[in-house]
Amino acid sequence: MRKARTSREKTADTDVAVEADAEKPRRKRAAKTVERDEAEKPTRTRRSAARRDDESGAEAEEAPAEPPRPVLTPISRPVRDDDLQEARISGEAEEPAAALPPAPEPPEAPAITEVTRDGEPMQVIKLNDLKRMKITDLSKMAHDVGIEGYQGLKKQDLIFALLGGIADKRFEVHAEGVMELLSDGFGFLRSADSDYQPSPDDIYVSPSQVRRFNLRPGDTVTGPIRQPREGERFFALQKVDKVNFADPMSDAARERILFDNLTPLYPTRKLKLEHESSEMTTRIIDMFCPIGLGQRCLIVAPPKAGKTVLLQNIAHAISRNHPDVYLIVLLVDERPEEVTDMERNVRGEVVSSTFDEPATRHVQVAEMVIDKAKRLVEQKYDVCILLDSITRLARAYNTVVPASGKILSGGVDANALHKPKRFFGAARNIEEGGSLTIIGTALIDTGSRMDEVIFEEFKGTGNSEIVLDRKLMEKRIFPTLDINKSGTRKEELLLGPGDLVRITALRQVLHPFTPIDAMEFVLKHMRPTASNADFLGSMNR
């Protein structure tokens, strides 16, 4: 055994020696290659440097330029449907998305017109022009008039001081406001520029004027005002020129029917929201959730589902396609920055009460808006109210309503939802002429039992529902509309027979789809078309 092991060891040593002898020539060749490379390196360096100098003509070497990187282009606000991503990446810079025209700048000075009173020329100044002016321009005007201590005054107090300074024999101040009737028989004209909240520049209306012209809460009254006399604190209405933009002595104004006595009907005149081929939100709503004059529409939305942008798109479409419709946007318990954004992007009357104001203020501004809308409908106007949100309005009423002793689930008082239902139920199409359309948002999935109870109470009251899905928002698919859950009652009154057949067939195709798949399918086939008519016509082919 020992001799066998020794022979195997000798064989292994022999193999190692053979491999070492074979390795020596390879090492020598590798060493020679390295030496040759080292010797040729300066020559290659000089050649490459000469080549760069020949190509660029530069004396020093320059680093090669990096390839261009994609440019991150932010989306401008307010946004369109296709542009509702946080940003888009492209190979080169793109133009920002088209934004709505900016809001008109407030006047730097009030407009002054000439009138003749009792044979003498008078200069007329409108109070609303003063209220729309910036505080800096008002301060400059107060300095010119000679008002002392104007630097420490609030805007309403400064306007009150200016009225006292300019209301003399040579000037006549005209005011316009919405009537708030108090229990003692007199009232005040509140201004929309101050969101109808009580202020020192409100105009007093005497009980005799209320009885003579049959003034009701919410009437829009226009007329000249006079200075407060001794012992009075407010400017008073001297004469009533117009009530709801009409002559108060006309037969139509004297014989107007009370809103509650008007006959409600289903909406039959469609509000066309489609206005641009790239605006998919309004195009899809026009097909699957048509809205008519007198509609009572409820937008069901979880948090961060894009309901505010949806309201802006609807408001922009109404102001563009239906300029004769009186548009009011009511924001209850909202953030101040959202109020500013809405005021700058919506062509209409924006009335708001922010979350830092008491619940009584939310209730007061809502009642002023609904009373004004009712009075305009009595004059056969078409009015549209966009409410954000009806959930927060119901919360405010739940806070201010006297306790009834009956508490529902979630802490809702049994009588708290009566007035919010009256607000929402005021929407109707009027047989005698005029209409009141209300499009309100209701919050769901907030984690609050009270919000769930409020939504359940309002769920069956509307005749149209637009349901938003947060999953579409998370995937950045806009609009975030759940097509299968959204719809309008009696839509056959708003859609043509041919369109109704095609939309019904399309709904049958989309029924088994999830909200994401259904929206992607619709957007894929709608984007190449210029209008809804082209899209529905392409279904025949």
Return the structure tokens found at 306: 């894009």
For residue 92, is it within any domain?
no
Separation CA 378–CA 261 (nearest Å)? 10
For residue 405, is it within any domain?
yes
pLDDT the model gives residue 133: 79
pLDDT the model gives residue 540: 72
Query: Could you tell me if 336 and 213 lie in one domain?
Result: no
pLDDT the model gives residue 76: 35
CATH of the domain at 506: 3.40.50.300
List of residues 6+ apart from 303 with CB closer than 8 A = 443, 445, 446, 470
pLDDT the model gives residue 11: 47
Query: Could you tell me if 141 and 238 lie in one domain?
Result: yes
Please state the φ and ψ torsions of residue 205, each to the nearest 5 degrees.
-120, 125
What domain range includes position 375? 264-539
**Domain end among 256, 285, 319:** 256
**Domain end among 202, 230, 256:** 256
Domain count, the chain: 2
Query: Could you tell me if 377 and 241 lie in one domain?
Result: no
For residue 272, is it within any domain?
yes
CATH of the domain at 215: 2.40.50.140
For residue 58, is it within any domain?
no
pLDDT the model gives residue 116: 56
Query: Could you tell me if 282 and 206 lie in one domain?
Result: no
* 235 bridge partner residues: 203
- Annotated binding-site positions: 304-309, 335
Nearest-10 crossing angle of helices 390-400, 418-425 = 140
Query: Could you tell me if 293 and 191 lie in one domain?
Result: no
pLDDT in tens for each of the 541 residues of the chain?
Answer: 444 444 544 444 555 444 445 455 555 555 555 455 555 544 444 444 444 444 444 343 444 444 443 333 333 334 444 443 333 333 333 333 333 334 445 554 555 555 555 556 667 778 777 777 788 888 887 877 777 777 778 777 787 777 776 655 467 788 899 999 998 889 999 988 888 988 878 899 999 999 999 999 999 999 988 888 888 888 899 899 999 988 988 888 888 899 999 999 999 999 999 988 888 999 999 999 999 999 999 999 998 888 888 999 999 999 999 999 999 999 999 999 999 999 888 888 999 999 999 999 999 999 999 999 999 999 999 999 999 989 999 999 999 998 888 888 888 988 899 999 999 999 999 999 899 999 999 999 888 999 999 999 898 889 999 999 999 999 999 899 999 999 999 999 999 888 999 999 999 999 999 999 999 999 999 999 999 999 998 887 5
Query: Could you tell me if 302 and 206 lie in one domain?
Result: no
pLDDT the model gives residue 206: 93
**Could you tell me if 240 and 209 are in contact, meaning their C-beta atoms sit under 8 angstroms apart?**
yes
For residue 535, is it within any domain?
yes
pLDDT the model gives residue 3: 44
pLDDT the model gives residue 126: 80
304's torsion region: left (phi>0), alpha (psi -120 to 50) or beta?
left
For residue 223, is it within any domain?
yes
Query: Could you tell me if 403 and 377 lie in one domain?
Result: yes
Query: Could you tell me if 321 and 251 lie in one domain?
Result: no
pLDDT the model gives residue 4: 46
Query: Could you tell me if 464 and 392 lie in one domain?
Result: yes
For residue 26, is it within any domain?
no
Query: Could you tell me if 228 and 322 lie in one domain?
Result: no
Separation CA 370–CA 374 (nearest Å)? 6
- Annotated binding-site positions for ATP: 304-309, 335
Query: Could you tell me if 318 and 430 lie in one domain?
Result: yes
**Domain end among 221, 256, 291:** 256
**Cα 214-219-221 angle, rounded to 5 deg:** 90
pLDDT the model gives residue 272: 93
Is the omega angle on the peptide bond into residue 479 within 30 degrees of 0, that is, cis?
Answer: yes
For residue 99, is it within any domain?
no
The enclosing H or E element of 5 equals helix 2-56
Query: Could you tell me if 252 and 288 lie in one domain?
Result: no
